[in-house]
Structure 1
Amino acid sequence: MFRFSFITFASFLTLTALLTGCGDPPCPAGTARNAAGRCVADGDAGDAGDAGDGGGGDAGGDSAVDSGAGDSGGPRDSGTPDTCTPTGADLPDPDFIDRDCDGIDGEAATSIFVARSGDDANDGTDPGQPVATIGRGLAVAGVLGRPSVLVASGNYTEQITLTDGISIYGGYDADAAWARTGEATTIRGPAPVVDGADLTAVTLAAFDVEAEPSPMGESNFAIRIVRSMGVTLRGMQITGARGGDAADGAPVATTAPDGRVGTVGGRAVYSGSSCPGGTSASPPILGSGGDVAGTCSCAGGGFGGRAGSYWDSAAGAAINAADGRSGAVAERTTILGVPSCPAFIGPAGGAAGTSGSRAGRTGTRGTDGTAGDPGTPGLAVGAFTSAGYAPAPGGAGAPGSRGTGGGGGGGGTGCIVNSFCYVSGGAGGGGGSGACGGDNGNGGNGGGASVAIFLWDTTLALDGTLVTGGSGGDGGAGSDGRPGGTGAGGRSGGARLSPSGCTSGTGGTGGRGGDGGDGGAGAGGGGGPAFGVVLGGTSTATPDGATVINGGTGGAGGTGGAGAPAGTMGTSATTYTP
């Protein structure tokens, strides 16, 4: 296919020729068409060039010039009139004019030649022995100090790094004495296909640059140039490829610890010198609250209430029956005895037994934890820096909060058997501890960007160039949050005693611990953006009237975990300034 850069000139001339019925379109001012059909500098354009070394004269019949003897000829001489008049330096130009009469558009003596049919073992200084890759051509040009690399049409699969002071020109025909035909010269490879930094004077002309799609999580730049000035892209077709799709948020496999049960309250005991069941030296043991569920984020259960009793430390005789005591609130300041956690205050313990009600009351149930909030969706565009693009991930959810412990059961009331015997009530049971909250889900990662031309602190001229953005990668899905643990049940209070004429109160059951809240799910990652040109830092891009810049298509946002939002679709635009 013919280069985009020649739309404004070559296509116009072709159209004029077709409309007027003339054969070939006219040449630009100051040039003439020779017998081979090429526009060359003014001079004797009556022949088609030499027939070769030792040939028998020109095919065009200009015997007055060559006298049928021919000349040294060779590839550089092909298609050049014998009486060509040089008009100055010959940089390759959009009109393919040979201004220095060396047989090619460009200066053969200061160029390196590249063709698919070449061999990288060559040095590329002879057009008849080109190198095979553009990268090799740039390397040799750098060593030999040659400012131009001339590339024959065809497909080149490689990544190239631009070298300051060396320009690259495509569209040549190595099989036609390096005539410049405008046939496509394509460079295709992993992104970035063309890379450059710290350049001051470089032109890239007459190439199709096509990036390959990027792997997962990576962005795609067809051309990337940073910290450069005086760079020109002429007659190019630059096409961005798809940015890499993003990975999903990592699933969460942890299980929130459940609450732990407390202990049973101690049973009622006799006290005194004349009791049918003997006597006890100490009151009933309180039921202890359930310990915390392994972390500082979970609350222990309350202790059971003390049983009603009265002890005469001097005589050991019961003087009066006493009411039980309320169970303790759910409060815990240690983990397994280690004082490392803040105190968590839960609901009240059960009411004490009295002379009227006798039995201790059940401790209050712990409060359930609250569910964590879901993550926030990934944005439509992440952050560009001189190093490239950082995708827009979805936010992680928040973990669920702990449940509080249940209150301890109330202590049962005591009773008097006789003047020398007292029966205590049963001690309250311990409350169950609260469960831990569930872990949060993770947000999906953001999709990779697709950018045809990425610039940072660079000044670029675009002449007759078609720029087309690709498509951004899709954002990754967020993962679900984990459910909270289950609060432990409270333990029963101590049993009562019922000797003849006296019945004490049973200890109250401890309250159940609260359940942990569920963890919030992660949100979906943002889709990758798609831009024709990104102007980062102090960059500017100056297009001429024949340049067209198209944006691409943003990637889809990733789905959110359960209850979480999806990521935002990637944005797209012809140009974008971070």
Structure 2
Amino acid sequence: MTETCSPNRVAANRQRIPLALSGAATMAVLLLAAGCSFDARALDEDAAGSLPGSDCIGSDCVPGPSSERDVSDGATSADVSSSSPDATGTIDPDPCGDGTPLNACGGCGELEGVPGRSCGPCNDGVWACRPDGEGEPGLVCTDARELNACGGCLDLDADPGADCGVCGAGAWECASANAIRCEGDVVNACGGCEPIAEGEPGDPCGTCGELACPADGADELICIGDDPNPCGGCAELDGAPEESCGPCGEGTLACDDDDPDVLLCLDPGETNACGGCADLDAQPGEACGPCNDGEWICDEDDDDAVVCEGASLLNACDGCGPLAGVPGEPCNTCGGSWACGTDGQVSCTGGDFNACGGCAALDEEPGASCGPCVGQVWTCVDGGEALDCPAGGNACGGCSALGAEPETPCNTCGDFWVCDGEEAVRCDEVLNACGGCEALDGTFHAPCGTCGSGRLECDGTDALQCVGDEGDDALVPWYADCDEDGFGDPGISRPGCPDTPPSASNDACGWVLNDRDCDDSDATINPDASDAPGPPFVDRNCDGVDGDASVGVFVHPEGDDDGDGTRAAPLATLGAALALVTNDGTRNTIFLAEGTWTLSRTALPGGVTLLGGYSASNWGERSFDNESVLQFSTPVGFVIDGATSPVLVQGVTVRTSNGTNAQPSSVAIVVRNTTATVRIEHNRLEAGRGVNGRNGQHGSGGEAGSAGAGGRSGGDSGTGGDGASATSCGPAGGRGGNGANGNNRGDSGTDGQASSGASGGGGGQGGGGEAGCGRGDSGGAGQAGGQGVEGAPVSVAGNQAAGALSGVQWRAGSGLDGNDGGAGGGGGGGGGGGGRNCIGVNRRGGGGGGAGSGGCGASGGLAGEGAGGSFGIMLSATGLVVVVDNEIETTGGGTGGRGGNGGAGGAGGAGGAGGSGQDAAGGGGGAGGAGGAGGLGGAGSGGSGGAGGASVGILTVDTSGLSASGNSFQLGAAGTGGEGGQTGGDSEDTPRSASGQSGIRQDVFQR
């Protein structure tokens, strides 16, 4: 069988051939002798007879030497021959002596493999012929890898048996022939090496947290999520402590002592009788109207107002009730007429009846006294036309009844009664007091004895004797009155008669019968002295306290509200004391011991005196170092409203909470609508922080315009598309022009509708016609509508001058709302396509597209709200208010609210596509032009910012009655104004409206 080899192959069963041929010829002979076809171009003429390519063994071809020495196995070209040539230049035809040819390495015997093929346990080596001089010709496996330690061929990550693991406690083991795994390594729950002492991840910790690994490989746990709520619980609260609550925001949220996950609303307050939050002008059910016969009822449209229902109108005399007659009409037969009086009723005037029922004028009033005696009165006579005075009198010429008639016997001594003036009689000779006729030696019943304790009594009919004399037992203690104020020193006394003070030649002091003086060296200190409370805290009326204890209600931290408010049984709360003062007209002064009370906004009525600084262990000791602290849970502390009698607040510490949205300013004391003097002295007033103003809402974006309709194709009537209709805020787009038929120009599109400040887009021109067999011109595209005008930025922001007082609350001025943007103009309609006339055959152009309507303008951002302030004292429409020697501290004003950004203008509606022209061979009608887009709506401008809150010691509004001296002020910072909002969103490139003014920081500010 003849073998066929490739041009680069040579048969291995070579024949003996002479070597005298040239290299190329010899190679050719070898190939031909082997029965192989031959391409002489495959030989390398410079290889000196070497054969490039591969060898073939039987029908198998293997890579052969590629040069004189094959770089793969080192065999030379001589190895291709059976043996070295002999002297004759021939090759032995049976070099192995058994008829078998030489193998591929030039040796005898079968090889283990094929040179060039893979070998080795991992099949990555290459069989190559053993180099000359290194033994018998044969194969060696070159570059073969050994198996790894696990019996595989891949490189292992580590040696089996070596230490492994995070903690180095494991050992590498064979997982398979080509993989290892770490066995025996022990790690903790976090992947670390040390035992964890705190517990396991996920265990609870702290109040609300759980244990967790801080990182992979950690040896300890940390507590995460331990973030209790402000009350110490773990649940999310509906609000925060100190925030306002209740139907009118007057209450204060506080933690529930029994459940840290619950907030309670303390002192939530109540709505007014109509369900609103403001003070009503009157209470429903009370009388109203000019005649007080109507009734106040709640206004159906306003929960904070009442209206008067059922009130009567005034009568013709501007009074109430029916009249006795009609003003101006006759009222009697004497010519009188009814006339309105000052009491709103009629009276009969002019020609009235006189008091006797007649018409004549009387000089006197019937029943009035006349004559010299009692009982003589003017009496009507002559039918009421005159008066008469009847006679009267006694025997002595007087008017009184006599005890006896003159000239009658008056005693047993033979004497007679005689006139003693006009009104009495006397006995001409009177018996003595003992019934005798002789004069007595003394005055009957006159004092007698040591201290006049006895009395002279009758001893028979003509003598007296001393009866009841007590001697020394009648003496009483007298007390020294050295300051001559009428009150004695209880430490210095001397006995004396009750009616006669003791005396001695060397006495420097007077003597009195009482021992009630508490300082006999100062005449201004005694029980009758006036004791105005205050420094230097002297008890001037000797009642044991600075002030007047007789009109006092005493309050002590350890008191009881069931007590009577005396020093022996003080009350526990200020509220109970105020209720007692209000209901007890004899007591008007509240004495506060040192301590702390928590309360909400409290009204102090007129006539009340509030005094603090008394020692908790001794009411007689008073000092402002004994703090009586009134901690208000509300932003407003004391309110003195409408007082018509004097009020005094002295020696207390007032602290108020921060402002809230419902009560923006924190004020320690508010005085308003008073006519009596109010004194605020020697107090410490600490106001909380004013609330921040709320940010204005952002403006709404403008509504987008509507899209125009597409034009119809020339083959479908070629009519122009309708422009988008006007919206509630955007103008309409123009209509597309109709396509032309034949050699005519298409209709132009109509112009878009303009808006205020934005022009409408112009309509596209119609395309020209085609007289030949080409294509008509396309219609022109409609122009886009003009952009709407942007809202102008607001230049006026919140300021202090615009601040306002509402009830007991002050808020700085808010900003102004931003301006709305204008609408964009409507787009212009596209022009219709031109027609074509080709050899009398017409084709129609497409209709122009309808234009989009203009986008709507955006709304402006809303104004930033003014912030609340921090005030020690706030006065409004008051009489005289004296503010002396107080320490006034404010926390600071809130930050003004930011103005809302203006909205972005609405996009204009898209224009409709132009219709295609009617086609024909070689051309056709022109296409319609596209409709123009509606103009972009104008952006709204931002609202201006609210003013910052004030930080003022004393604020006066509409009052000039302040008298202030000796006060010290420690004021927190005034609040900054809120930033103005931006036009059309929050981009820094757009204009910004004005920012609010900063608040006022001033000791005393008058507005």
**CA deviation vs aligned residue, 1:458-492 (integer Å, no higher than 9, x gap):** 12012322333431111223333332233233222
**CA deviation vs aligned residue, 1:186-220 (integer Å, no higher than 9, x gap):** 22212321111111311111112222222346111
Among 727, 730, 747, the alignment partner of 1:325 is 747
Q: Distance in 2 between matches of 1:194 and 1:31?
A: 46
Q: Distance in 2 between matches of 1:41 and 1:261?
A: 106
Q: Tell me, yes or no, if structure 1 residue 570 matches structure 2 residue 990.
A: no
RMSD (Å) for aligned C-alpha atoms? 3.3
Q: Distance in 2 between matches of 1:223 and 1:106?
A: 23
Give the match's secondary structure for 1:140.
helix
Distance change >3 Å, CA 342–CA 179, structure 1 → 2: closer
**Farther-moved stretch of structure 1 (353-362 vs 429-438):** 353-362
User: How far 1:249 moved relative to its partner?
Assistant: 2.4
**CA deviation vs aligned residue, 1:248-293 (integer Å, no higher than 9, x gap):** 22345x5543333222212225xxxxxxxxxx9xx5322111344x
Among 142, 160, 163, the alignment partner of 2:605 is 163
Distance change >3 Å, CA 508–CA 132, structure 1 → 2: same
User: How far 1:329 moved relative to its partner?
Assistant: 0.9
User: How far 1:150 moved relative to its partner?
Assistant: 1.4
Q: Distance in 1 between matches of 2:769 and 2:792?
A: 49
Q: Distance in 2 between matches of 1:449 and 1:108?
A: 39
Q: Distance in 2 between matches of 1:528 and 1:513?
A: 46
Q: Does the aligned pair in 1 maintain the 2:830–2:850 contact within 8 Å?
A: yes
Give the match's secondary structure for 1:326.
coil
Aligned residue for 2:574? 134
Q: Does the aligned pair in 1 maintain the 2:740–2:833 contact within 8 Å?
A: yes
Among 307, 311, 317, the alignment partner of 2:739 is 307
User: How far 1:42 moved relative to its partner?
Assistant: 9.1
Aligned residue for 2:820? 399
Q: What does residue range 413-428 of structure 1 map to in structure 2 within 5 Å?
A: 413-417=834-838, 422-428=842-848
Aligned residue for 1:21? none
Aligned residue for 2:792? 373
Q: Does the aligned pair in 1 maintain the 2:784–2:935 contact within 8 Å?
A: yes
Aligned residue for 1:257? 703
User: How far 1:163 moved relative to its partner?
Assistant: 1.4
Q: What does residue range 330-369 of structure 1 map to in structure 2 within 5 Å?
A: 330-331=752-753, 346-355=760-769, 358-369=777-788
Distance change >3 Å, CA 422–CA 31, structure 1 → 2: farther
Q: Distance in 2 between matches of 1:114 and 1:224?
A: 23
Give the match's secondary structure for 1:136.
helix
Aligned residue for 1:95? 536
Q: Does the aligned pair in 1 maintain the 2:812–2:950 contact within 8 Å?
A: no
Q: Does the aligned pair in 2 maintain the 1:304–1:429 contact within 8 Å?
A: yes
Q: Does the aligned pair in 2 maintain the 1:225–1:456 contact within 8 Å?
A: yes
Aligned residue for 1:221? 667
Aligned residue for 2:546? 105
Aligned residue for 1:172? 614
User: How far 1:41 moved relative to its partner?
Assistant: 12
Q: Distance in 1 between matches of 2:695 and 2:956?
A: 30
Q: Distance in 1 between matches of 2:615 and 2:953?
A: 30
Q: What does residue range 23-102 of structure 1 map to in structure 2 within 5 Å?
A: 44=489, 80=518, 85-102=526-543
Q: Does the aligned pair in 1 maintain the 2:658–2:665 contact within 8 Å?
A: no
Q: Distance in 2 between matches of 1:462 and 1:344?
A: 62
Among 192, 195, 204, the alignment partner of 2:639 is 195
**CA deviation vs aligned residue, 1:143-192 (integer Å, no higher than 9, x gap):** 11112111112222224311111211112124114332332222221232
User: How far 1:556 moved relative to its partner?
Assistant: 2.0
Distance change >3 Å, CA 373–CA 41, structure 1 → 2: farther
Among 910, 916, 919, the alignment partner of 1:495 is 916
Q: Does the aligned pair in 1 maintain the 2:702–2:856 contact within 8 Å?
A: yes
Q: Tell me, yes or no, if structure 1 residue 186 matches structure 2 residue 629.
A: yes
TM normalised by structure 2 equals 0.44
Q: Does the aligned pair in 2 maintain the 1:392–1:446 contact within 8 Å?
A: yes
Aligned residue for 1:6? none
Q: Distance in 2 between matches of 1:143 and 1:497?
A: 102
Distance change >3 Å, CA 255–CA 402, structure 1 → 2: same
Q: Distance in 2 between matches of 1:500 and 1:518?
A: 52
User: How far 1:326 moved relative to its partner?
Assistant: 1.1
Q: Distance in 2 between matches of 1:571 and 1:31?
A: 59
Q: Does the aligned pair in 1 maintain the 2:756–2:823 contact within 8 Å?
A: no
Among 853, 871, 875, the alignment partner of 1:455 is 875
- Which letter does structure 2 place at the counterpart of 1:353? G
Among 243, 247, 250, the alignment partner of 2:690 is 243
Aligned sequence identity (%): 31
Give the match's secondary structure for 2:581.
helix
- Which letter does structure 2 place at the counterpart of 1:477? R
**CA deviation vs aligned residue, 1:311-332 (integer Å, no higher than 9, x gap):** xxxxxxxxx8432221011139
Q: Distance in 2 between matches of 1:42 and 1:379?
A: 64
Unaligned segments of structure 1, at least 5 residues: 1-29, 33-39, 48-70, 72-76, 270-279, 310-319, 333-340
Q: Distance in 2 between matches of 1:569 and 1:209?
A: 27
**Farther-moved stretch of structure 1 (149-158 vs 390-399):** 390-399
Q: Distance in 2 between matches of 1:345 and 1:478?
A: 31
Aligned residue for 2:200? none
Aligned residue for 1:233? 680
Give the match's secondary structure for 1:542.
strand
Distance change >3 Å, CA 256–CA 343, structure 1 → 2: closer
Aligned residue for 1:153? 594
Aligned residue for 1:10? none
Q: Distance in 2 between matches of 1:553 and 1:525?
A: 17
Give the match's secondary structure for 2:865.
coil
Q: How many residues align?
A: 477
Give the match's secondary structure for 2:688.
coil
Aligned residue for 1:338? none
Among 261, 266, 269, the alignment partner of 2:712 is 266
Q: Does the aligned pair in 2 maintain the 1:80–1:101 contact within 8 Å?
A: yes
Q: Does the aligned pair in 2 maintain the 1:409–1:508 contact within 8 Å?
A: yes
Aligned residue for 2:390? none
Q: Tell me, yes or no, if structure 1 residue 209 matches structure 2 residue 623.
A: no
**CA deviation vs aligned residue, 1:231-251 (integer Å, no higher than 9, x gap):** 111212223221112222234
Q: Does the aligned pair in 2 maintain the 1:450–1:529 contact within 8 Å?
A: yes
Give the match's secondary structure for 2:891.
coil
User: How far 1:107 moved relative to its partner?
Assistant: 1.9
- Which letter does structure 1 place at the counterpart of 2:602? I
Q: Distance in 2 between matches of 1:342 and 1:566?
A: 29
User: How far 1:140 moved relative to its partner?
Assistant: 0.5
User: How far 1:528 moved relative to its partner?
Assistant: 0.6
Give the match's secondary structure for 1:511.
coil
Q: Distance in 1 between matches of 2:526 and 2:722?
A: 109
Q: What does residue range 546-557 of structure 1 map to in structure 2 within 5 Å?
A: 546-549=966-969, 551-557=971-977
User: How far 1:380 moved relative to its partner?
Assistant: 4.3
Give the match's secondary structure for 2:692.
coil
User: How far 1:80 moved relative to its partner?
Assistant: 4.7
Distance change >3 Å, CA 45–CA 329, structure 1 → 2: farther
Distance change >3 Å, CA 178–CA 135, structure 1 → 2: farther
Q: Distance in 2 between matches of 1:94 and 1:460?
A: 20
**Farther-moved stretch of structure 1 (99-108 vs 553-562):** 553-562
